[in-house]
Structure 1
Amino acid sequence: MKFFDALQLPSLQQARIAAGAEGLHRTIRWVSIVDLPDPLSCVSSGDLLLTTGYGWPRDEKKLLDLIIELNACGLAGLGLAVPEYFTNMPLTVCRVADELHFPIIEIPWEIQFNTITEEILSSILTYQYNIQEQSEFVHQELMRIALDANDLQEIAVTLGKLIKRPVIIQHPEGPILASYNMNKDGLEEEEQLFHQEMISFRKEQVQHIPLRSHSRPIRIPAVPESGLPARLLCPISIKKELAGLLWIIEGQQPLREVDQRAAQTASIVMALHISQQRALASLEAQLGYSFLDSLLESQFNTTPQILRRAELLGFDPEGIYSVGTIIMNSSVPLSREGIIKRERLADKLKLRMQELKIPTVLSLTQNQLLFLIPESVLSEDIWKSMKDINLSFAVSLPYRGFTNVRQGYKEVSSILPHISFGQLHRYQDLLVPRVLMGDHDARSSFLGKLFDPLQRSRNGDVLISTLLTFARMGFQLKKTADELNIHPKTLRYRLDRAISLGNFDLNEAETQFHLQLAVRIFSLENARI
């Protein structure tokens, strides 16, 4: 029991705190009654020493040395009966005890030490019984939630309610996975403040926690300047791998032993839950890999079963998607370390996709991570959290439906030889440089991207020929009309229709360059203009 709790017992209510009031949080584990001149051999750490002072030195220097040695032994404190042999504890001794935070109380002579001992030991036994009873209840509740919980949030809420403390579960990379605070009115501000520190809490600090301590809670002191209270960190580990961090906010009241036991049990429950979720995620990932591989490799038949699987994975057959590829700067075939790194990278990507509410439809192949990006999501939002000097991100044009997604896969595959690590590459951004380098596939893609809308329209060939001639004639109307042997009004009509269908801006320098480049491509391929 705590020293300040012992002072509430009937036998000690008349006792006076002579020194060391700041040490009253010390824990009393036993009571020793010793009147010998040298009591050191008769006491142990956590003892409350009761004495009449009969055999104690009267010399203040010797008495001072004795108090220092008793504190060094880890005693909970000292109870001195007064005023028979000592009227009170000398003032010089009390000053040193205050500096040491070593509690000294003066007990009226008429109070029996046996009474004090009986009350304290009885309270300790009662406390231990209550701890055991509470621990058993907490253990049973956590075991129940281990079987019933759908996610980490339910476990966090259950733990928080049991110990009546704010609880936060954090991913080792930083994101908050679940949280609970019993005071809803003050939750948002406190969690925001706490989350800010989590951002600055360096990952390497977590990695430096010795593996042997992963099963033990670690107390993090308060940070008064930022208003952060003391916290208890309980690492969640699976086979010596750090899988998460369980934080319990201590607040104004110190954590009880039962709270720490609950934290340890909860961390085991969370580890089991994460293991189970990983197993399910692995199964889902295999289904996702199979689905995406079939989709990208032209082995896809749109049967009702396939459509149902696509729906379960979150893929919309009528949706518009780009194909994204994250490439690791690693030689292939991957080493064991490379495979582990790829799996961690995939986990990080899945987490980001979940944050952006993107269906986690992805596949792994050698040093690449392939996945689908809905039209509503910016590729920059993905790259922002994945960016690394040893990674590259390639993104195709957006396409609708099952079959067209394969074209996106071909596009990202075609630009892989041209990528630079540490950068985001869009297919359309690399198209012109590849054309200039003589890439035949890039030429076809470039011309298709430029003229497909016109090609699909009535008299599209005429419109394309008109545009190319207009570019070859330096974008001069009279020269173009003369070259085509048509009236200028007819030329203007064709150009207006081409502009409308192809969304061209013929006054823009880049558009003019693309059309002139198309002229050169057709010339090289001996096409008729």
Structure 2
Amino acid sequence: MEMPALAGARLMGGAGGLDRVILRANVMEVPDILPWVKPHELLLTTGYPLRNTPQGLPELVCDLQRHGLAAMGVKLHRYLDALPEQMVAEADRLDLPLLLLPDAIGFDEIINQVLTEVLNRQAGALERSWEVHQALLAIVLDGGGLEEIADRVAATLPASVFVTTPDGRVLADGGEPADLEAWRASACFEETGRFRIEYEQRGVHAHADVPGWHAVVPIVAGRVDHGRIVAFSADRRLDDGDVHVLERAATVAALSVNKQLAVTAVESKYRGDFLRDVLAGRAGGREQVVAHCETLGWQIDRPMVVAVAEVDPDANDLPESGFELRPIQERFSTAWQTVVGRRDRRAPVVGFAREVVALLPVPFGNAEAVVQDVVREVSGDGGGGRRSFSTGVSRVVTGPDELPAAYEQARRAVHVGRQVHGSGAVAHFDALRSFRLISLIRDNDELRGFIRETLRELAATDDEDMADLRHTLKILLDANLNVAEAARTLHFHYNTLRYRISKLERILGPFTTDPELRLDLALALKVLQMRGMERP
């Protein structure tokens, strides 16, 4: 309304929509204008098409709002003497600006000035994005990476900027530290620091529980999804010009990611080959291994555990985004490297063909807490639709000479843990106990035969009564045949449990007086508990 052509215009209604963006202008010459109306349009009219039916103007306002019209300008005194009150009321209700245009100004002047301003702004936005593209390209050519790209984009917009992986883990950020922390604490991020990409499509967004505006652009190269670049602004609404800048930045970021992937692939192969030799015990003596690890930025002469993580079979993939996803194992390895690297950059993490091996430092010997925290962060609290995985953990070791045995412990733990607890298990080698021995038996028919011969009628897994008796038997064995304690655990009357014991002995034999039978029963229950043994 500050343009010369609109100098004498008056706002009749819809003041709440004065911040609407106009991208084009049109003139209403026919009554059926709706098929020709486009979003973000300024519609000009003398009312000629509706001169005989002015009562239809309020309904027209509603229809134009549904078509995304930005504003409407009307000239009076030629075909319309006044705007109906209902029309003004509808414009106020819908926040659709309704302008009364000066008689002396022609529509051609308005259209010319509007389109000139739009084109000038579009040209400015393109020039700005091109300058940003050139500056970012220079950063990459000079050896810079995602951190430098994020800093430059943050200074250009200005805004807080995050570069993430395809599943939302932050790789780099740029902007004021206080602002970055504030955005990380918003509902757009999980407690683990993962950006919730599953709720954010491409473009500009605003959420009721998140202040300000943010824009999301995918980082894509060769139809491979490499992540997202996200800009946050608390004090201004982000627009298409900001999105253009982010798109330029995403192109350069894809170049940087591909460059880093090429370097990482070579380095990872070298690191992986060396760590494989260490875990196989063929990398040399202790001093030689420690010295070589130092050149790789690793520290392994300290208390640590070996963690082996494997993607669970038949787990669901990430939601389709229209782009091909990087190989699952590659993304899985990257997630572990990112999480562990944030905690300790000197901790080795290497992805093999079917597993990820991490040597996690445990300075205070609290291996369980350390592993739980890492697994929780890698899985992102289950968000994002990422693949579930199982983890095996070795005993604590103090040097490289103990790593081969620890690696075998962790591998055994991950396989047995998945059998016993299912997908997503975290199993520590010391907690496996007799399950370790059972897992060494490869003949499932032999195990099923042992279950049938030992548990007899109780081996029927599809019988609820037998399942109830199996549970009673397990509690009794766990309580060392202490009937009073087992009754309290089962919430049974003492005599009820005595009756059940008699029934169990009729089926199984005198297990209360035969320790060998009790051992067989305990082992049979453990075999039944392991995955794959549900139907003996």
TM bin, normalised by shorter chain, reads 0.5 to 0.7
Post-superposition offset of 1:52: 3.5
Structure 2: distance between partners of 1:325 and 1:126? 58
Cα 1:279–1:360 change in 2 (3 A) is farther
Structure 2 residue aligned with 1:138? 132
For CA contacts below 8 A with separation 6 or more, give which structure has more relative contact order.
2
Cα 1:257–1:396 change in 2 (3 A) is same
TM-score (norm 1): 0.65
Post-superposition offset of 1:235: 2.4
Structure 2: distance between partners of 1:93 and 1:435? 82
Segments of structure 2 that go 5 or more residues without pairing to the other structure are 315-325, 380-387, 441-536
The AA in structure 2 aligned to 1:398 is: V
2:155 is aligned, of 144, 161, 181, to 161
Post-superposition offset of 1:232: 1.7
Structure 2: distance between partners of 1:384 and 1:248? 29
What SS is found at the alignment partner of 2:363?
Answer: coil
Q: Which has the larger radius of gyration?
A: 1
Structure 1 residue aligned with 2:367? 379
Structure 2 residue aligned with 1:128? 122
Number of aligned residues: 413
Post-superposition offset of 1:289: 1.4
Structure 2: distance between partners of 1:61 and 1:158? 55
Structure 1 residue aligned with 2:334? 347
TM-score (norm 2): 0.64
The AA in structure 2 aligned to 1:370 is: V
Segments of structure 1 that go 5 or more residues without pairing to the other structure are 1-6, 210-216, 332-338, 439-529
Does 2:386 match 1:399?
A: no
Structure 2 residue aligned with 1:9? 3
What SS is found at the alignment partner of 1:274?
Answer: helix
Cα 1:268–1:121 change in 2 (3 A) is closer
Structure 1 residue aligned with 2:481? none
Same amino acid, percent of matched pairs: 21
Would the aligned equivalents of 2:34 and 2:64 in 1 still touch at CA under 8 Å? no
Structure 2: distance between partners of 1:390 and 1:191? 26
What SS is found at the alignment partner of 2:237?
Answer: coil
Structure 1: distance between partners of 2:243 and 2:156? 12
What SS is found at the alignment partner of 1:391?
Answer: strand
Structure 1: distance between partners of 2:355 and 2:48? 81
1:273-288 map, 5 Å: 273-288=256-271
1:220 is aligned, of 201, 205, 208, to 205
Cα 1:267–1:194 change in 2 (3 A) is farther
Post-superposition offset of 1:424: 4.7
Structure 1: distance between partners of 2:76 and 2:435? 95
The AA in structure 1 aligned to 2:393 is: A
Kindly provide the CA deviation profile for residues 289-339 of structure 1, in whole angstroms up to 9, marking residues without a partner as x: 1111222323223699976642232234644444333356669xxxxxxx9
Structure 1 residue aligned with 2:13? 19
What SS is found at the alignment partner of 1:228?
Answer: strand
Does 2:227 match 1:244?
A: yes
Cα 1:204–1:19 change in 2 (3 A) is closer
Structure 2 residue aligned with 1:292? 275
Structure 2: distance between partners of 1:405 and 1:91? 84
Cα 1:8–1:397 change in 2 (3 A) is same
Structure 1 residue aligned with 2:524? none
Kindly provide the CA deviation profile for residues 160-180 of structure 1, in whole angstroms up to 9, marking residues without a partner as x: 111112222233444332223
1:148 is aligned, of 129, 142, 146, to 142
Would the aligned equivalents of 1:60 and 1:93 in 2 still touch at CA under 8 Å? no
Does 2:104 match 1:110?
A: yes
Structure 1: distance between partners of 2:75 and 2:414? 86
Post-superposition offset of 1:364: 5.2
1:361 is aligned, of 314, 337, 348, to 348
The AA in structure 2 aligned to 1:291 is: F
Post-superposition offset of 1:106: 0.8
Would the aligned equivalents of 1:156 and 1:168 in 2 still touch at CA under 8 Å? yes
Structure 2: distance between partners of 1:431 and 1:39? 80
What SS is found at the alignment partner of 1:79?
Answer: strand
The AA in structure 1 aligned to 2:101 is: I
Over aligned residues, Cα RMSD in angstroms? 4.1
What SS is found at the alignment partner of 1:17?
Answer: strand
Cα 1:330–1:85 change in 2 (3 A) is closer
1:59-98 map, 5 Å: 59-71=53-65, 74-98=68-92
Structure 1: distance between partners of 2:339 and 2:105? 68
Post-superposition offset of 1:258: 1.7
